[in-house]
Amino acid sequence: MEPLFNRIALIGIGLIGSSIARDVRKLGLAQEIVISTRSAATLAQAEALKLGDRYTTSAASAADGADLIIVSVPVGASESVAVQIAPALKPGAIITDVGSTKASVIAQMAPHMPQDVHFIPGHPLAGTEKSGPEAGFSGLFKGRWCIFTPLPDTNAEALAKLRQFWEALGSKVDEMDPQHHDKVLAIVSHLPHIIAYNIVGTADDLETVTESEVIKYSASGFRDFTRLAASDPTMWRDVCLHNKDAILEMLARFSEDLASLQRAIRWGEGDKLFELFTRTRTIRRSIVEAGQDVDVPDFGRHALDDKR
């Protein structure tokens, strides 16, 4: 494939940054890959994995002269990165991110962006519960959505180029308003993780059930929750703090519906339970039919516990 960019700078080289690096290298999407991350130890890991051509702990020197800069750090670190890279950005550069929340990332980064660059927030809907440069793999974004939440005055050419980039990684690209993105993701991604953290925490706290019993008898339903609950604590702390309003709104709805389910169980309302379980089963079928479970083979390899 023809390189789409001369120099790509990857700021943050964990699961997402390193998966991008692997695909960029494999597909020949850049002449040069520059990698930057805050910690020297993580940078050394990236270098050992040969993920880039140049390595630096200075985000500014990585961004200097780059045509595409992809920020892949926990969302709470977005402003700090924006402040560091802003003075080094070359005119016409495209700056994007992969953060799981969008309104907050825009609020943190946009005010620091110079007038002559193109800041296009993005979010690939692909990942696993693993983190760090060793957890990444080529093909993570294949068949998955990447959502852009462009600012109103975004340059159409820059947008088309970034779209071309993500499509080269195999993603389907969509555009959304950032607030809408945050609400949609609150229900389809953030709440499932919060529920998983909570149920695994509850099981761990149960006084009548020992920890060894939780491990020994964990049925596959519970095991599926433990996968999500093993996700990176820094990333998910930041998601919760930076999508607070949408998450609280969805949690309120969720709690109401849970109370109604609790009531149906208490009063033996079998029809009500059956109706809900039938309705939700069709959602799973629609997802499978729409090909949205394309990740199963990859997740089987990377995310599920081999000892199952």
Ligand X SMILES: NC(=O)c1ccc[n+]([C@@H]2O[C@H](COP(=O)([O-])OP(=O)(O)OC[C@H]3O[C@@H](n4cnc5c(N)ncnc54)[C@H](O)[C@@H]3O)[C@@H](O)[C@H]2O)c1
Binding site for ligand PRE (CB under 6 A): 100, 125-129, 189, 231
Taking CB under 6 A as the rule, which mask of x and - marks residues 111-140 in contact with ligand X? Answer: -------------x--xx--xx--------
Site membership for ligand X, residue 149 (CB under 6 A): no
Site string for ligand X, 84-113 (x = CB under 6 A): --------------xxx-------------
Residue 95 binding target from ligand X, ligand PRE, none, CB below 5 to 8 Å by type: none
Q: Taking the complex as a whole, how short is the minimal distance between the CB of residue 278 and ligand X, in angstroms? A: 31
Of residues 207-236, which lie at the interface with ligand X (CB under 6 A)? Answer: 232, 235
Q: 3-class secondary structure for the chain?
A: CCCCEEEEEEECCCHHHHHHHHHHHHHCCEEEEEEECCCHHHHHHHHHCCCCCEEECCHHHHHCCCCEEEECCCHHHHHHHHHHHHHHCCCCCEEEECCCCCHHHHHHHHHHCCCCCEEECEEECCCCCCCCHHHCCCCCCCCCEEEECCCCCCCHHHHHHHHHHHHHCCCEEEECCHHHHHHHHHHHHHHHHHHHHHHHHHHHHCCCCCHHHHHHHCCHHHHHHHHHHCCCHHHHHHHHHHCHHHHHHHHHHHHHHHHHHHHHHHCCCHHHHHHHHHHHHHHHHHHHHCCCCCCHHHHHHHCCCCCC
CB of residue 10 vs ligand X: minimum separation in angstroms?
Answer: 9
- In the complex with ligand X, the residue whose CB is nearer, 113 or 115, is 113
Site for ligand X in 22-81 (CB under 6 A): 37-39, 42, 72-75, 77, 80-81
